[in-house]
Amino acid sequence: MESALCYEGLVRLVEGPTQYEGRLEVYKSGRWGTVCDDGLNNKLSVVVCRSLGLSWKTSVAYGNAKYGEGSGPIWLDNVNCSGSETSITECIHNGWGSHNCHHNEDVSIKCLPPFEGLVRLVGGPTQYEGRLEVYKSGRWGTVCDDILNNSLSVVVCRSLGLPWKTSEAYGNAKYGEGSGPILLDNVNCSGSETSITECIHIGWGSHDCGHSEDVSINCLPYETLRLVGGSNRYEGRLEILTQRGWGEWGTICDNHLNDKLAVVACRSLGLPSNTPEAYGGALYGQGSGPVVWQGIKCNGSESRITSCMLIGLESINGSKQCTHDHDVSINCLPTRVTAVRLYGGENELEGRLEVYKQGRWGTVCDADLNDNLAVVVCRSLGLSWKTSEAYGNAAYGEGSGPIWWNNVICSGSETSIKECKHMGWGLRYCRHSKDVSINCLPSNEILVRLVGEPTQYEGRLEVYKFGRWGTVCDDDLNNNLSVVVCRSLGLPWKTSEAYGNAVYGEGSGPIWLDNVNCFGSETSITECKHNGWGSHDCDHSKDVSINCLPPDENAVQLIGGVTDNEGRLQVYKFGRWRSVCFNELDDKLSAVVCRSLDLPW
């Protein structure tokens, strides 16, 4: 058999009784390997036989190593083809080298012999291009390039199920000289024919050529990828020329996105691929064609995007199909400096964290947040960082631009936020209510106050943070909190009490703290353990209140009267002043109350 260029995804049939059948092997990373039979059906044989230039309409795919077990790697498993693909690499699969099989499950394929007038492309670097050969009388032969034009490539590519709108035909044996008969010459097609046999020619085997004039065809002469909507040729929405619509440009969804896709895409486009970036969320605008793939997983070593693991629109796990607001974008030559700023704070040391990208300021989501992020940001800004803090839940207000990053994980040693790990640019899995804020030099003095009651010793507990007074939630509440608060206020604390359920009224600002756990020895509420500033699962009906100097149990008072000698009777019970109800009342009660209050009785 004639030697051919090996490219990623090239297929062959080996160890069969004829050249039309055998064990299926695929070329990848310099090695031929087999395919496992999990999920096998005849749509795989259709794709394989057609790509080999063989008759495919009644082809069959077999499992259980019908034509013998292979000995190389098992490259593919759970291969799911629709039958319209031009290469096995376009079918859905587990990923290169990912399988749970042995060679006794190797796939075999049986195609039919080619029919008269069948065409194939051989000797090219991809399945889309090569020397044109035609099958006639049991032999493959070539076509001479006299009066050649692109109408011939249109007919050939369309008959092969390949893109044809931009196809080109070349003379002078561009993809090497053939060795068989020269079967056709002066081929004249209109472009509407369904087969090369319908085109005008001077007769089978009639020619005045040598193989140096063999015709070659490229069905996809231009890049299968393009970048659209960017400010220069290095950036834009990633689009791929797809079979759907016979050459329509489609987009890719941002599921499983990382920069390795950008490496493969930029390299295949002939653009710089050392430090490219991939973005989700339709950063360069939404496409209008089909969404070709739900997602894509690349390892960065692939030579073509179709060699990556493709997740098709027919989602295997039943997830919803993607829409254009998740279109992938690529920048092959991004600016290496990622600007950050703190916005909305009272000074330059604090505020909502914003990152500048592609001409826009955007925010960061607080998933997996810790203070290492604050250390990196503050140090990169030339600010104090040793005691810096990172806050979630939009502590300095919600942003309005894109949410650039989520799940940012820093070790604290990075020189820039760009060096921290994250899920990828522009992925929309967050809301602005979760925006990250940073304080590079948080004050050691945290103000607290008691509001809502007539005395200085009691009231709703409020804490001042980020320029705003906020409340504390009563989860895990005990009197150790009141001890710390009252002592920090310089008030009596030994018999202080903490109450939940907003006994002194509900607040209206933010809820700053929850699950506050104090030992009682702390000098400030900030030394107590808590969920983090702004992190809670409460509403204001659970606001904490404090009484630093509660009366003795069963103490009485008169309120609401014109003078101190009269008023409504209240008794201090269970941490609160409570009204008293009596079914039978006499003057003995008033005498006891007035005497206990040192009033005339």
pLDDT tens profile 204-247: 999 999 999 999 998 876 557 889 888 778 888 999 876 443 45
Q: Which CATH class is domain 225-331?
A: alpha beta
544 token code pair: 């904490």
- Note the pLDDT tens digit of each residue in 514-531: 999 999 999 889 889 998
Each residue's pLDDT tens digit, 469-478: 899 999 999 9
Residue 219 to residue 141: CA distance in whole angstroms: 19
pLDDT at position 146: 93
pLDDT in tens, 199-212: 999 999 999 999 99
Q: Are 23 and 32 in contact (CB under 8 A)?
A: no
Q: Which of 63-77, 156-170, 313-327 has the lowest mean pLDDT?
A: 313-327
The more confidently predicted of residues 340 and 316 is: 340
DSSP label at residue 370: -
Is 277 or 213 the better-scoring residue by pLDDT?
213
Angle at the Cα of 548 from the Cα atoms of 544 and 554, rounded to 5 degrees: 95
More confidently predicted of 593 and 330: 330
Residue 165 is predicted with a pLDDT of 78
Residue 425 DSSP SS3: strand
pLDDT at res. 443 = 61
DSSP string, 45-83: HHHHHHHTTSEEEEEEEE-TTTT----S-EEE-S-B--S
Q: Which two tokens stand for residue 144?
A: 């001479």
Instruction: Give the CATH number of domain 11-112; options: 3.50.50.60, 3.40.50.970, 3.10.250.10, 3.30.420.10.
Output: 3.10.250.10
User: What's the rounded Cα separation, in Å, for the pair 472 and 311?
Assistant: 47
DSSP codes joined into one string, 121-161:
EESSSSTTEEEEEEEETTEEEEEB-TT--HHHHHHHHHHTT
d(CA 538, CA 546): 18
Query: 428 falls in which pLDDT band (50, 70, 90)?
Result: low
**pLDDT surpasses 90 at 104:** yes
Give the global pTM.
0.42
pLDDT score recorded for residue 457: 84
| Cβ neighbours of 428 (radius 10 Å) | 15
The fold of 339-439 is Mac-2 Binding Protein (3.10.250)
Q: Is the pLDDT of residue 153 over 90?
A: yes
What average pLDDT does this structure show over 261-269? 88
CATH for 119-218 is 3.10.250.10
- In this prediction, residue 480 carries a pLDDT of 95
How far apart CA 392 and CA 296 sit, in angstroms, is 31
Per the structure block, which two tokens stand in for 405?
A: 């990053």
Which architecture characterizes domain 448-547 according to CATH? Roll (3.10)
Q: What is the pLDDT of residue 63?
A: 93
Q: What does the domain layout of the chain look like in residue ranges? A: 11-112, 119-218, 225-331, 339-439, 448-547, 556-596
Q: What is the pLDDT of residues 157-193, one digit of tens each?
A: 888 877 787 788 999 999 899 998 999 999 999 999 9
